[in-house]
Chains A and B, each alone.
Chain A
Amino acid sequence: MDAEMRVLDLLGLQGLIDTLRARGYAVVGPTVRDGAIVHAPIATIDDLPRGWGDDQDAAHYRLRRRADDALFGFAAGAQSPKPVLFPAEELIWRGRRTGEEFTVNEDGAERAGDEGPYALLGVRSCDLHALAIHDVVLLGRDHVDVRYAARRAGAFVVAVTCTAPGGTCFCASMGTGPRPDAGYDLALTELLDDGPHRFLVEVGTPRGEEVLAEVPTTSAPAHDVRAADDAVAWSVAHMGRTLDTDGIKEVLYANAESPRWDDVASLCLACTNCTLVCPTCFCTSVEDVADLTGDVAERRRVWDSCFSEDFSYIHGGAIRPEIRSRYRQWITHKLASWQDQFGMSGCVGCGRCITWCPAAIDITAEAAALRWTPQPAAGRS
């Protein structure tokens, strides 16, 4: 949308939160809890991580105080907004058995939208792209995740430009940031200079415009528009990592038998952290829970991970018993087969899998190494 850009100060930001809440949204955004930044209900701007930044590197995450009062002065937290719309665990259906009969008497889909609608505040560009990916994976094909659909349909998105990329970030390489380019109702760029603490606001949808009209804003002077552009340029120049995506699918496919997999496997603990923190991973399992009599049972959908051995279990043994083949599945899916499946990369460059890997395995380093390792002749006899 080409609406005029506006400027919002701190009171205006509070006004935005108030307006969203008054319109019935459950506002969820970043907050500091137990030494990390997590997503939680936000009632006032004081709930936001004011003055907090972070240091991130492979297997390293630490919050630190910033020299300023930035509200969004940190990089990706441990979780994206993924669990808000796609919870780690939820009810599919619950049923009751009487003799040989059973009835489904509770349907998770009917409850899925009840907590919302959500307003996601402070969604950074990488996570915004991950959301768009989930829309394709979970809604854009023949069969739809109806629980996700129910939560997603009403969700309002306030995106934020990432002005403090972390040591493990590489969204610029993936073309997914740092400035939100689509998929938001409103997008903020935080401006911290000699002037007052303020945000440049861009409008993405008519709904966003409607909400913004209820909030005190001023029209954006040219130097604020420029300041936002400068902040973006600074971010691009300060990405902690890069990933060369040129022909990456072919590189991964050609390296199915690379000796590199054994090197990674010797470090990888198959702890599943990387898939749990990844904003695009969508794999799930179902669990059946019955009461002692077995007459009341429910089926739950739970996050799963291709790093667990059970994931590929079929009678007679797992398809991927070895960690090397599970790591290969993961990185090949993210960077290569995802492109064939969905016409886009499965990695948005948020860096979480690097930061939260206890063994400091780095997707950017592995991709680079595969590109430069000689390929052994593929195939088994």
Chain B
Amino acid sequence: MSMVEHLHRAGTSPETLADPMRPRRYRIAHTRQDTRDTFTLELEPTEGPPLAYRPGQFTMLDAFGVGEVPISISGDPARGGPLEQTIRDVGVVTHALITAPVGTLLGVRGPFGTSWDVSLGAGGDVVFIAGGIGFPPLRPALLELISERDRYGRVVLLYGVRTPEDIIFGDELRSWAHDHGIVVGVTVDNGQHAWRGKVGLVTQLIPRAGFDPRNTTAFVCGPEVMMRFSAAALADRGVRPSRIRMSMERNMKCGVGLCGHCQLRELFVCVDGPVLTYDRLAPLLSSREL
């Protein structure tokens, strides 16, 4: 295909193409500290409508002059309102984002990537498995499910964190369990103090979660090893690999399939993912460092 045909297909001429690398400006309306190192920003656009997005999608968030990083959206997709993003302070850019004073303008590009498509689980049981900062990206999917709770069977949320102090959205977990019949299991790596719950790996919660593997859809988000073991454990119990969905993490510089950083063999994780099914991922994750 010729260059001109490509541009025609894009429905536009070079002069009017929108630059996917140019950010929109959002103002920090509120910053909430969730745990010692994790914060949720509420962002309002300075111009134009609020961001329409689907659960599981992410944005490229930019701290002026510091840098830009991929962060999943953690808010309620049905509520409109400000854009919510929950960020763990791990390095230069994330630190700049969570310490920026309320009122600061941030650059936002997106939303990018694929969605959890939680409604694929309707009519059966649903298992969410979250590890650490992998919980916030699942929150929009949980909220979407809760808004139509009666379309789903047994709903289980298994959540692994380092210590009890690292539990994010703890109040909400209690209300989901209490008001919406969601079975919540939390486990910690390290549970001194007054922790009376489970200690150990989140995969250890799977056997007793009581879902029907033949009719279950799973949504998994967390560190890659945790996702790999969780998906394998689910598949071992009989959950179909095509119904195990996980959100992959890779270095991302563009979010739109142009920079090449996020490649996982033939996949561009930013546009083909981040949410991908285990049947597609399993062969790719079976080789180290692919």
Which residues does A use to contact B, with CB under 8 Å?
A: 92-93, 95, 97, 100-102, 104, 107, 109, 113, 135-146, 149-150, 152-153, 183, 253, 256-257, 282-286, 288, 290, 294-295, 297, 299, 301, 304, 306, 311-316, 319-322, 325, 328-329, 332-333, 336-337, 340-341, 378-380
Contacts and interface: CB of A to CB of B under 8 A. Distances in A.
20 contacts: A97-B65, A100-B105, A102-B105, A104-B23, A107-B22, A109-B17, A136-B6, A146-B17, A146-B18, A152-B14, A153-B14, A253-B265, A285-B261, A290-B65, A294-B64, A297-B65, A315-B91, A325-B288, A328-B290, A341-B268
Contact of A144 (B10, B15, B107, B265): B10
Residue of B9, B27, B260 with most chain A CB atoms under a 10 A cut-off: B260
B29 interface: no
Nearest to A109: B19
B12 to A, nearest CB: 9
Residue of B1, B3, B25 with most chain A CB atoms under a 10 A cut-off: B3
Given A284-B253, A284-B259, A297-B65, A341 B20 contact: no
A235 B260 CA distance: 34
B14 A113 contact: yes
Interface residues of B, number: 54
Contact of A143 (B9, B101, B258, B288): B258
B21 interface: yes
B14 A380 contact: no
A152 B257 CA distance: 19
A329 B268 CA distance: 13
Contact of B1 (A102, A113, A135, A328): A135
A380 B65 contact: no
B103 interface: yes
Q: Which 3 A-B pairs have the closest CB atoms?
A: A283-B260, A297-B65, A325-B289
Contacts of A283: 259-261
B289 A321 contact: yes
Given A146-B14, A146-B21, A306-B263, 9 more contacts: A93-B21, A100-B101, A142-B256, A183-B2, A256-B290, A286-B253, A314-B250, A319-B250, A337-B265
